Amino acid sequence: ATLKIGVAAVLSTLAFGVYAAEDDTVAAPADAATPNAGAVIVTGTRSSGIKVENSASPIQVLDSASLQRTGQPDLIQALAQNLPSFTAQAFGGDTANLTLSARLRGLSPNNTLVLINGKRRHGTANLAVLGGPYQGGAAADLNYIPVSAIDHIEVLQDGAAAQYGSDAIAGVVNIILKSNNRGGTANVNGGGYSDGGGRTLDGSANIGVEPFQDAFFSLTAESKYHGYSDRGGIDPRVVNPANMAAYPGMFREPGYPHVNHISGDAQYHLNVVAANFGWDVSPDSQLYAFATAGRKEARAYENYRLPNRLPVIYPTGFSPKETMKEEDFAFTGGFKTKAAGWNVDLSSTYGRDKARIGVADSGNVSLFNDTGYTPTVFHAGTFIASQLTTTLEASKEFDIGWAKPLNIAGGIEHRIDKYEIQAGDEASRYKEGSQSYPGFSLTDAGSHRRTNQAAYLDFAGNPITDLTVDLAARYEHFSDFGNAKVGKITSR
């Protein structure tokens, strides 16, 4: 058994100079992610043994070394550094700053399907509600996948709704976990911006063991801290002569006149574990399971409030912080075998994300005016999103006289999505509510669900040498808005 230990320290020489409420990281140059032409892929095709160079769809493969070399603190930023078509949110407004999103080919985050070992990943409960290119985003949070747990990533940069569903319009990111049964790695990364903000410290370790013959168990743990950054300039309100005369206490606000810290990174602590298991119970059959579990505590600055809001409590003014305590869990179990020449795969995946939203260093002005008292810390509400997906897939090759056998694949899928909002505490929702993020009311609270049934067929083959043709069709029924029929023809 071997254990590799790597230590990296990364220091940003230039802090990013952005002032908008939301922004993208700089996209990678067009040649940043050179595909491994000889790599065998499982994304964008139902055939076995297909290499990148022979894929009918545009596929890029990134190995773990490519991700580690970027020195980025999380998977989202590492992908953005490697893929020209993948853009990552630098920071967002309100609670969107606590769960950053990413986009593929300029489309909504919800149009990119994230798979783990080829199985659908659940989305975050923290919905991005503010305007901008990420509005409505509730895709999978890639920060809950440790980079050290990844063997490689396959990125399909083409519409794949006919193959995977309507949430794959922009493409597919398929994260393949390590399946090592011996050895391991350990990594420590640290860095920050040149002005001292955004300090980051990340430690991770992976180990693989063989629990019994013909089996593997790969376990990864990661702990990460990321600090605030501040891109705000001088707040014109605090240098206005009228305000300076009316609120002399503003001069004592830390950082004066740079008192508005909303434009910058959120602070967070993240702990996550990932496990991958496989057991070849026979030459043609395998039991498999994998899971991730994580917890994150995050907070982000909101706009500075002048002292006139709550002068008794905050004589120098105040900057509320939106907070989140998040728990994320996912588990997949399945069985692969051969039956009558067909490759059969039966699996079920459950994922759940719970985000408890709060506000700190704040107050409820109406409550204080009416009662003479207000808390400074509030529970604004809780979001819970869950997804249960069960799939049965089968594929088989038929020799019909073509240059290569015709591969026929089909499958059925059943999915249950649930979303719940729990009300905030009474003080957070009294009249105007807590400053920066009023609590969810009792009428806002509720639990909703929808079901989805889908079936697909896929035909792929080489009628003649050097010509690949792939025909896919998918039918989906959604309980809340009806049916969808999608088809796709790809040739190369």
| pLDDT tens readout for residues 79-127 | 999 998 999 888 788 898 999 889 999 999 999 999 999 999 999 999 8
Residue from 10, 47, 32 nearest 490 by CA: 47
What's the pLDDT score for residue 4?
44
In this prediction, residues 365-379 reach a mean pLDDT of 98
What's the pLDDT score for residue 49?
73
What's the pLDDT score for residue 37?
60
What's the pLDDT score for residue 47?
77
Token reading at 294: 């994580």
Distance CA 65, CA 67 (A): 5
Distance CA 123, CA 386 (A): 8
- pLDDT of 148 higher than 80: yes
Residue from 397, 395, 396, 406 nearest 463 by CA: 406
Whole-model pTM: value is 0.90
- Name every residue whose Cβ is closer than 8 Å to that of residue 369 and which is 6 or more positions away in sequence: none
Token reading at 285: 């059959």
Cα 257 → chain centroid: 36
Distance CA 82, CA 246 (A): 52
Q: Are 261 and 229 in contact (CB under 8 A)?
A: no
- pLDDT of 2 higher than 60: no
What's the pLDDT score for residue 46?
78
What's the pLDDT score for residue 9?
40
Straight-line distance from the first to the last Cα atom of the chain, in angstroms, rounded to the nearest whole number = 43
Token reading at 304: 């500075």
- pLDDT of 27 higher than 60: no
Residue from 377, 378, 395, 383 nearest 461 by CA: 395
Q: Is residue 133 exposed (0-12), middle (13-18) or buried (19+ Cβ within 10 Å)?
A: middle
Domains defined along the chain, listed by start: 178-229+264-491 (2.40.170.20)
Q: Which helix (H) or strand (E) holds 197?
A: none
Q: What percent of the chain has pLDDT over 90?
A: 75
Cα angle value 80/103/487 (rounded, 5°): 125
In this prediction, residues 306-314 reach a mean pLDDT of 96
How many Cβ atoms are within 10 Å of 141's Cβ, its own excluded?
Answer: 27
What's the pLDDT score for residue 3?
46
Q: Are 277 and 286 in contact (CB under 8 A)?
A: no
Q: What percent of the chain has pLDDT over 70?
A: 92
Instruction: Provide the pLDDT confidence category of residue 36 given band limits of 50, 70 and 90.
Output: low
Distance CA 466, CA 478 (A): 39
Alpha helices in 62-188 (DSSP H): 64-69, 75-82, 161-164
In this prediction, residues 302-318 reach a mean pLDDT of 96
DSSP 407-429: EEEEEEEEEEEEEEEEE--TGGG
Instruction: Provide the pLDDT confidence category of residue 5 given band limits of 50, 70 and 90.
Output: very low
Q: In this predicted structure, which of 16-20, 43-47, 211-215 has the lowest mean pLDDT?
A: 16-20
243: helix, coil or strand? helix
Distance CA 265, CA 15 (A): 11
**Each residue's pLDDT tens digit, 414-463:** 999 999 999 999 999 999 999 999 999 999 999 999 999 999 999 999 99
- pLDDT of 239 higher than 70: yes
- What φ, ψ does residue 157 adopt, rounded to 5°? -100, 60
- Name every residue whose Cβ is closer than 8 Å to that of residue 248 and which is 6 or more positions away in sequence: none
How many Cβ atoms are within 10 Å of 136's Cβ, its own excluded?
Answer: 15
Q: Is the peptide bond preceding residue 35 cis, with omega within 30 degrees of 0?
A: no
Distance CA 91, CA 449 (A): 30
Q: Which residues pair with 140 in a beta bridge?
A: none
- pLDDT of 51 higher than 80: no
- pLDDT of 490 higher than 50: yes
- pLDDT of 19 higher than 60: no
> CA of 384: how far to CAs of 126, 361, 368, 444, 449, in Å?
8, 25, 31, 14, 12
Selection from 43-57, 242-256, 274-288 with the highest mean pLDDT: 274-288
Distance CA 245, CA 69 (A): 53
